[in-house]
Structure 1
Amino acid sequence: MRKALVAANWKMNGRRSANEKLIAALVAGLDQAKAGAVDVVVFPPAVYLADVRQMVSGSMIELGAQNVSLESLDGAFTGECSAQMFCDAGCGWVLVGHSERRAMFGETEDVVAAKMRAALDADLSPVLCVGETLEQRQGGALEQVVSSQVVSALSSLSVPMLSRVVLAYEPVWAIGSGLTASPEQAQEVHEMIRAVVAGMGGEELAQKIRIVYGGSVSAANAELIFAQPDIDGGLVGGASLKAEDFLAICRASADQAAVG
């Protein structure tokens, strides 16, 4: 059975005092919820990684970076941080190909693929984000767009590398909009993604790889979303900044894992 993953993407949010309160509440709440059946990862802004590393020490919360350079060697890349640097900072995870990176910062499929390789070569576990815009969905291009994103990012990777990847389906039209795909819509795309992975690495790999949902997951909708057979957790944005909401999402995931 696939272990659920609930990840908190803080995006460009946070201050030290607020971070301390949030992490303290999460550590206490997760211990009380006995959420050991779920992997919980926090992705703070890079400037707070050292602080958050200390805050989560000894807890079940793992640490991840929101972005990574495609360059693997130290050098003249002002403003960039390499995968090795994030490992040195205590990260075990990294987000790759988030829709905001693709849309706002021009990350192409080639860039995303190079970042995947850089992360895996440094022993970081990447969470690859894929998803369609509203125009693409309405135009009937959903399957082509999402499949292409998956194949482009993963096609050069070995099966052992693929087994360390988590996929996050994030319908772009649902991020930060308050909208969300219905549980059935999300399940349909997750099932399709799993079929694409099976075509690349075989059915055994496809059944082991984790695919999480990243489209405005909230305390209100988490239970229904996580009940879908091909949804293995969530990549949570806004709701991850509120301890009560994020803990409710983690509990929903843990409860579903127990039903399993």
Structure 2
Amino acid sequence: MNFLSLALTTQPEPDWSRVQALPIHECDEPLVPLGLVPPPIRVYPTYFHLGIGGALSECYVRRSVLARLQKAARLLPAGIELVVLDGWRPLAVQQYLFNTLTQALRRHFPGEDEAGLLARARHFVAPASAEAASPSPHLTGGAVDVTLCDTEGGMLDMGTEFDDIGPWSATAAFEAVARPGPKEAEIIENRRLLYSVMIRAGFSNLPSEWWHFDYGNQNWAWFTQQPHALYGPARLPGLAGRWERQVALLGG
């Protein structure tokens, strides 16, 4: 069995307070767009297509994240391509996702206190934060949501939809199926393939989400046992800000 088909193991959820306490040594890598990147990487900004306010029509990641996505894509077998569903995420979109999920949980678990609701939501959506010491993972440009497709653009079966909040979204969930039929076996192989190429390319995976991978942020530092993260909160450079910096360099 080659590395692309190694069995996935169940990983515990991290201690989020300790994750957020990890130091960040910001390396100032810029955000770069993925829209011009050639196959075998495809870009489908899901939240934009869902019509979520403030969502971008382009996916952005840090420069080193792009290099690792390209490495992961090159490791895929012929006929399979990597699909990026989301990367850097504006704070307003992160807040919308967190609010929407917690509101749904509050309606379904009316007796749950706020701490319990936060713990449930935290499995799938981080609280919105642009704090320098503890930013939301997607706000750093180091988190990516990905899946696989064939050369015709048909998504491979991963067992759940992207952003599904059920127990089957856990990366290793289907490994527990005692007697997998043809459908389950296909899902298992697809998840193993995605996980294997992303980990080999230098990413870490969020155990509760088969689609979520990190590089350079606090999640990545925790799961790969690094002493510090490389990425804090990032912002897209606007034209006005760029001109301000250039004018300042003109002197006089």
Report TM bin, short chain.
under 0.3
The TM-score normalised by the length of structure 2 is 0.25
State the structure with bigger RCO (CA 8 A, min sep 6), 1 or 2: 2
The TM-score normalised by the length of structure 1 is 0.24
